[in-house]
């Protein structure tokens, strides 16, 4: 079982719509959760982080965390073509006495003009 | 913008050559990581470091080695490159806090012919 599971997509949404990206994780002791955006051929860049159950909003982005269901999601409102990228879900937890990041394989988002 | 740099950005090299991928950060982070990422796939942790003179192998077995003689510098070496080493290599760093995010360098795309 993978540590972090994401639907690979592609997820296609029209410009201006809400894009919903989902992620599940396997280990209940995971404590910190991150969404990264990765453009093709580029390195990941942080979009949002979330540590507590509930919603966290930052501009057009909302991260949602449900630890009981081991589920993290990212909502992108008013999607723009520039949001087209692969979105990586990352979970951080302590293993071998070290806080490690575990990444999903990413969901590719296409925002159509 | 994160201050973590990788060189070279692209490298095409022949089989059997020794190569070193450079990674430097100016943020004073103790924790540094090397990830390997094939196209469309998740990031796999191949090495990490707690700090100076501390290195550990990651979750994905790799024939590469690393060193951490200075806080800011975390080079990765392949003694004898093979075509199977062709991949993107991403260096990252973070603060030691549980909730701290990982900052990524621009990556090195390695092709072994």
The per-residue DSSP string of chain A comes to --SEE-----EEEETTSPEEEEEEES-TT--EEEEEEE-TTS--EEEEEE-SSEEEEETTEEEEEETTTTEEEEEESS--GGG-EEEEEEEEEEETTEEEEEE---EEEEEE-
Contacts of A46 in chain B (CB under 8 A): 101-103
Contacts of B23 in chain A (CB under 8 A): none
A23 touches chain B (CB under 8 A): no
Rounded to an integer, the average pLDDT of B9-35 is 96
B50 touches chain A (CB under 8 A): yes
Question: pLDDT value at position B55?
Answer: 94
Inform me whether the pLDDT recorded for B1 exceeds 70. no
A33 touches chain B (CB under 8 A): no
Inform me whether the pLDDT recorded for A95 exceeds 80. no
The greatest distance separating any two alpha carbons of chain A, rounded to the nearest whole angstrom, comes to 47
pLDDT tens across B72-86, in order?
A: 999 999 999 999 999
A42 touches chain B (CB under 8 A): yes
Rounded to an integer, the average pLDDT of A74-86 is 97
pLDDT tens across A14-36, in order?
A: 999 999 999 999 988 888 999 99
A43 touches chain B (CB under 8 A): yes
Inform me whether the pLDDT recorded for B97 exceeds 90. no
Contacts of A27 in chain B (CB under 8 A): none
Question: For residue B25, is the peptide bond before it cis, meaning its omega torsion is within 30 degrees of 0?
Answer: no
> Which of B10, B31, B99, B103 to mutate against chain A (most A CBs within 10 Å)?
B99
* Cβ–Cβ gap B48/A98 under 8 Å: yes
Find the residue in B nearest to A98 (Cα): B50
- A37: tokens are 């955006």
Find the residue in A nearest to B106 (Cα): A43
Min Cα separation A5/chain B (Å)? 10
Residue given tokens 């520039």 in the structure block:
A82
What confidence tier does A113 reach under pLDDT thresholds 50, 70, 90?
very high
* Cβ–Cβ gap B42/A103 under 8 Å: yes
The number of C-beta contacts closer than 8 angstroms across A and B is 58
pLDDT tens across A53-79, in order?
A: 999 999 999 999 999 999 999 999 999
């Amino acid at each position: 079982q993978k540590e972090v599971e994401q639907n690979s997509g592609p997820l296609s949404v029209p410009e201006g719509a809400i894009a919903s990206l989902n992620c599940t994780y396997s280990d209940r002791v995971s404590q910190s959760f991150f969404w990264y955006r990765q453009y093709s051929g580029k390195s990941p860049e942080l979009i949002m982080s979330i540590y507590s159950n509930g919603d966290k909003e930052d501009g057009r982005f909302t991260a949602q965390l449900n630890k009981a269901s081991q589920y993290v999601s990212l909502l992108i409102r008013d999607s723009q073509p520039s949001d087209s990228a692969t979105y990586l879900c990352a979970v951080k937890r302590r293993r071998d006495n070290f806080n490690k990041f575990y990444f999903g394989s990413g969901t590719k988002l296409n925002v159509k003009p | 913008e994160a201050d973590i740099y990788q060189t070279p950005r692209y490298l095409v090299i022949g089989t059997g050559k020794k190569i070193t991928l450079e990674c430097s950060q100016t943020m004073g982070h103790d924790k540094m990581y090397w990830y390997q990422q094939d196209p469309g796939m998740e990031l796999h942790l191949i090495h990490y470091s707690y700090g100076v003179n501390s290195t550990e192998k990651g979750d994905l077995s790799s024939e590469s080695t690393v060193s951490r003689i200075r806080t800011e510098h975390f080079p990765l070496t392949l003694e004898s490159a093979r075509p199977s080493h062709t991949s993107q290599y991403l260096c990252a760093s973070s603060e030691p806090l549980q909730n701290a995010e990982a900052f990524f360098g621009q990556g090195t795309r390695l092709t072994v012919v």
